[in-house]
Amino acid sequence: MAIQWFPGHMHLTRKAIGERVKDIDVVIEVLDARLPGSSANPLLSELTGHKPTLKVLNKQDMADPERTPLWLDWYNAQPGVRALQLDASDTAPTRKLIDGCHQLSPNRGGMAKPMRVLICGVPNVGKSTLINTMSNKRQAKTGDEAGITKLEQRITLADDFYLWDTPGMLWPRITAPESGYNLAASGAVGRNAYDEELVALELLRRLQRQYAPLLEARYKLALPEGAVAQMHDEELLEAIGRKRGAMLGGGRVNLQKTAEIVLTDFRTAILGRITLETPTEFEAWREAGLLEDAERAIRKEARKVKTKKPQRGGAPEA
């Protein structure tokens, strides 16, 4: 199942970014440190062109500390890009971001040439909480539902530093199915756009391979060592539901309720510090997705040619 979500207000955001970026010096893209590749918006790169970009791996306190450095190195190796890790509850993030922007655009600063920055990110990435912490005011709406911020707003972080906040935005087509599942698991996708049970099963499959001890510690399923990693994902979901008392009549497990439990435990980091992807994995997903898109376009064009009606008349045969 491909997960896609691009509601109407995101079309407006895309247009607003395209207009605003003409006068911007640096773009800050806030990423989820638990899915630093999947939460990077390829549409944003198209809209901002070659503008210097500061990639902020937010929620780093919820991510795997062994994997975050891999992502920082991966982004810092890209031209015109600088990356840093951050926790939205950090009491002093402003200096880090201002310094990072000045490193990317050293000729901007002072009242004559104030720094003009656009801050973007997918929904529910913690951008609004970060902005409120930086400005010491509740200027941006926050919540655990995707799509809270709906309007662009300007925020002054210093006399010569202007920050334009934009609503969370995805992109019209998520090419890699794995990225779609990761975004849904993190809460970046509206709930009406995916099946929570399917997303929970996909999440459990990934956690079984990489973080089975965290599942065992959280749900205390009283299974032999290593058994969690070997279970079928549906069997594991049922076992969690029984353990947590998510039951229906007749001894049946309420799989919807259990899926909500698993997703909430991941989103709130009750499961532990988890990163769902490495740079190598993400690049493989992206390449496979681009290849599938290219093959789909070829098949579509072939169908057009096949169904195209021959023109009437024409030159007579010799």
> Tens digit of pLDDT for each residue in 206-243?
999 999 999 999 999 988 888 999 999 999 999 999 99
Q: How far apart are CA 68 and CA 146, in angstroms?
A: 24
Residue with tokens 């609004």: 128
Which pLDDT does position 8 carry in this prediction?
85
What does DSSP assign to residue 315?
P
Which pLDDT does position 143 carry in this prediction?
46
Which pLDDT does position 89 carry in this prediction?
64
Question: Tell me: the pLDDT tens digits for 38-60?
Answer: 999 999 989 988 899 999 999 99
**Cβ count near 317 (within 10 Å):** 4
The pTM of this model reads: 0.87
Determine contact, residues 93/86, Cβ cutoff 8 Å. Answer: yes
pLDDT at 318 over 50: no
Which pLDDT does position 62 carry in this prediction?
96
Higher pLDDT, 138 or 276: 276
Q: How far apart are CA 171 and CA 224, in angstroms?
A: 43
Interval 171-198 mean pLDDT? 95
Q: How far apart are CA 277 and CA 129, in angstroms?
A: 24
User: Where exactly does CATH 3.40.50.300 map onto the chain?
Assistant: 8-165
Interval 76-102 mean pLDDT? 87
Higher pLDDT, 86 or 2: 86
Nearest to 165 by CA among 146, 152, 148: 152
Residue 92, judged by CB atoms within 10 A of its CB (0-12, 13-18, 19+), counts as exposed
Determine contact, residues 167/140, Cβ cutoff 8 Å. Answer: no
Q: How far apart are CA 167 and CA 17, in angstroms?
A: 10
Contacts for 216 with CB less than 8 Å, ≥ 6 apart: 223, 228
Which pLDDT does position 111 carry in this prediction?
87
Question: Tell me: the pLDDT tens digits for 285-315?
Answer: 999 999 988 898 898 888 888 877 666 655 5
Name the token pair of 67: 């994997």
Q: How far apart are CA 45 and CA 48, in angstroms?
A: 5
Residue 154 pairs with which residues in a beta bridge?
Answer: 164
Which pLDDT does position 147 carry in this prediction?
46
Nearest to 120 by CA among 41, 226, 195: 41
Which pLDDT does position 218 carry in this prediction?
96
Query: CATH topology for 195-267?
Result: Conserved Hypothetical Protein Ylqf; Chain: A; domain 2 (1.10.1580)
Q: How many helices (H) and strands (E) would you count in the chain?
A: 12, 6
What does DSSP assign to residue 112?
S
Residue 256, judged by CB atoms within 10 A of its CB (0-12, 13-18, 19+), counts as middle
User: Where exactly does CATH 1.10.1580.10 map onto the chain?
Assistant: 195-267
pLDDT at 102 over 60: yes
CA distances from 56 to 128, 136, 285 (A): 13, 19, 22
- Strands 153-158 and 161-165, by their bridges, are antiparallel
Residues in the chain, overall count: 318
Determine contact, residues 60/87, Cβ cutoff 8 Å. Answer: yes
Question: Tell me: the pLDDT tens digits for 114-170?
Answer: 999 999 999 999 888 888 877 765 454 544 444 444 457 888 888 899 999 988 999
Which pLDDT does position 94 carry in this prediction?
82
**Cβ count near 204 (within 10 Å):** 23
Contacts for 91 with CB less than 8 Å, ≥ 6 apart: 133
The CATH code belonging to domain 8-165 is: 3.40.50.300
Which pLDDT does position 61 carry in this prediction?
94
Q: How far apart are CA 100 and CA 105, in angstroms?
A: 9
Which pLDDT does position 146 carry in this prediction?
46
